[in-house]
Structure formats: C-alpha cells, structure tokens
Amino acid sequence: MNDKTRLFLLIAMIGLSSCAVRPKNDFDAAKVPPIPDYSSLNNWAAHPDKTDPADLTPSPDFPDLQKDAPVDVIFLYPTSYTGGLRHSSHQRDWNASVSDAKTNLKTDNGTIQYQASLFNGAGRVFAPRYRQAHLHAFFTEKDSASARHALDLAYTDTKAAFEHYLKYWNNGRPFIIAGHSQGARHAMYLIRDLIEGKSVETQLVAAYIVGWPVKTDFYKTFKACETPQQTDCFCSWRTWERKYGLRHAFEQDIVCTNPLIWTTTENAYAAKSLNKGGVITPFEKIFPEVTDAEVYHGILLARKPKFKGSILFQRKNYHIGDLNLYYINVRINAQNRVKAFLRR
C-alpha cells in the first residue's frame, strides 16, 4: 500500500458513515460468526509471540521495547468492518468474522500499525481480534435493537480475550488497557465489569479510553487521570476542529483529557509547541507541532493539522486522528505512567 493510497483511506474513513453498505438483515443470534478461539495466535492482531504491525515504530528514536518490558498493554482496535463498496458482497452482516481476511488486513495495516504501535515502548502489546460491530451500528436509529445486539456480541469477545490473557499470559504482570472508538467503548465496560473493585485492579497501570464518551459518574471509584504520572486512572478525549467545536459542541459531565498536558481542566490551553509529533501518513514520518489541544465542554478542541495532503482533510470531526495527532505524546506518557507505577 503506497503513501497516496494510505492518505486516501485515512481521509475516506472519515466519511464512511454516509457511504457504507448497511447490514442486509436484522441481527440474528443464530447466524453470527463463530466464537474466536483465543488460544490461537491467529485470533490476535498483535501478540508478543508473533511478528505483527504493532512491533513497528515511526523512527529509530522510538524503539520497540516489548522484548524486555515488565508491563503488558491490551489494545482494543476501532471499527474496520465498514461495508465499503469494495467489500459489499461479504461485509453486510452485523458482526465481522475474525477470519475475514480483508477486514483483518485493513485492521493490521491501519489501526494496529498506526495506533497500537505507539504502546510498544510501554509494554508487550496484545490486541485480540473480535467480532466487531458493523460501522452502521453507530449511525442508525431504525436498526437500534440490531445495533445494540451487535455491540454486545463484540463486547463478549473482548471480555473472553481479556480473561484468556489473565489466565494464560499475565502471570501477575502490570497492564495498561487502551482502546479507540468501538474499542474504547468495549474497554470502558471491560474495566467496569472485570477490573474496577477487583483484586486485578492493583495491576492496572492506567487506561486510555479514547474516541468514546465516558460520563464522569460511569465508574464508582475509578477516576480520571489529572496529572501526567498518575496511575490507576483513565484518560479519555474526542477531537474536533477548534472553530466548529466552539460553535456547536457542548456535552455535560463527559471526561475529557488534554493529551498535551494530561489534565481535564477546562480551557487549559496547550499550544502546538508542546506536541512532540503526530503520526499520520506515511508511518515513517513524524509531524512535530501538528496541532494544539484544549478541553472544552467535554470535547478536545484542535486546530486543523498540517501535513502533506491535509488540504483534503475538510471534516470538522477529527475522531480518526484522536491518537495519531498526539502519537508521540501518548507514547511518552504511557512510558512515564509505567515508570511511576513500577516505582510505587
């Protein structure tokens, strides 16, 4: 896949909600794809016992440190099962099969390389394949019941994968939970159902629940991070173009973290000079000072990023770049929280 193709896909994914092929029938529990077997490495998009795109880095200055890492990272990827026209013949079910080669390739060349890889400086990266819900699940009212069932099915897989990880590979090691978009939605519930208030919470370094709204009262005791080295806490943000966000965005009681200064303080502006680099396309190029950040009424405001081809980037919702626009800052922050946890 060349750089022009990657750029086109990056920009095109922003508009998928309007052009995606929709599931052709209602959700039917009797016709869902087979349950993944998480003892098979084939059902992990990233795993320390295999070579995968999460092992890549955009620069030798940021090496892959998984081999000797004392910490693990569970990464839940966003939606790649979109029903695009090229895949219309087999992407019209409510949930993807984990053996769908085209969806897996799209996942691996996209979010595993461009997002999961940012955590390979903090720990061993585990990213389970799961029967992700179709993109249409997030944009429908008519099919709301089917959408809910599809998301619930996807969530059962992420739970099963995490439980398998705990039983066979964790061995008491500290871990980070990270997810973006649909993956963040599953991570949010995973922490509430299997980690918060349980003995395993003492192993949780921190969580990055990015691209999905988390209400301030969603957890009973698990809190949002307020400092760059705080542990046993979570970070969450959703990125919008600054001018548009100031005019239209307002959400009550939603956690929003500024990924340049690592606080949820409202209107604490972080200039782009604090942005150590975004990774957009090509993967091997880092864009320092690509954009700024400011928390505003539950969302993250950012000025239009500047990179090769950004003239085509006209959307006001920067959701697809939630992690990529702040790639190096998030990478360094995950490392710092690990160091703080290990010192503790």
- Are 333 and 208 within 8 A, CB to CB? no
Residue 175 identity: F
Q: Which of 276, 299, 341 is nearest to 58 (CA)?
A: 276
Q: Which of 122, 94, 106 is nearest to 45 (CA)?
A: 106
Work out the percent of the chain whose per-residue pLDDT is above 90: 82
Structure confidence at residue 60 as a pLDDT band (50, 70, 90): very high
- Res 41 pLDDT > 80: yes
Which of helix, strand or coil describes residue 239? strand
Tell me what pLDDT residue 196 has. 98
Pairing of strands 72-76, 175-180: parallel
Structure confidence at residue 299 as a pLDDT band (50, 70, 90): very high
Residue-wise pLDDT for 236-277, tens only, equals 999 999 999 998 877 889 999 999 999 999 999 999 999 999
Torsion angle (degrees, nearest 10) of CA 91, 96, 98, 99: -20
Q: Which of 164, 180, 204 is nearest to 132 (CA)?
A: 180
Give me the helix-helix angle, 182-190 and 144-165, nearest 10°: 60
Provide mean pLDDT across the span 87-106: 84
Provide mean pLDDT across the span 316-321: 94
Q: Which of 153, 135, 323 is nearest to 237 (CA)?
A: 323
Tell me what pLDDT residue 90 has. 61
Work out the percent of the chain whose per-residue pLDDT is above 70: 92
**H/E stretch holding 44:** strand 44-46
**DSSP single-letter state for residue 195:** I
Q: Which of 282, 274, 283, 328 is nearest to 302 (CA)?
A: 274
- Res 313 pLDDT > 80: no
- Are 267 and 295 within 8 A, CB to CB? yes
Structure confidence at residue 11 as a pLDDT band (50, 70, 90): very low
Provide mean pLDDT across the span 286-291: 96
- Res 91 pLDDT > 60: yes
Question: What gap in Å lies between CA 334 and CA 121, rounded to an integer?
Answer: 8
Tell me what pLDDT residue 308 has. 75
- Res 88 pLDDT > 90: no
Q: What is the pTM of this model?
A: 0.92
Tell me what pLDDT residue 307 has. 79
Question: What gap in Å lies between CA 92 and CA 30, rounded to an integer?
Answer: 16
Structure confidence at residue 25 as a pLDDT band (50, 70, 90): confident
- Res 142 pLDDT > 90: no
Question: What gap in Å lies between CA 17 and CA 327, rounded to an integer?
Answer: 25
Which of helix, strand or coil describes residue 76? strand
DSSP string, 279-317: --SSTT--BTT---BEEETTEEEEPPP--TTGGG---SB
pLDDT mean across residues, the chain: 91
Residue-wise pLDDT for 162-220, tens only, equals 999 999 999 999 999 999 999 999 999 999 999 999 999 999 999 999 999 999 999 99
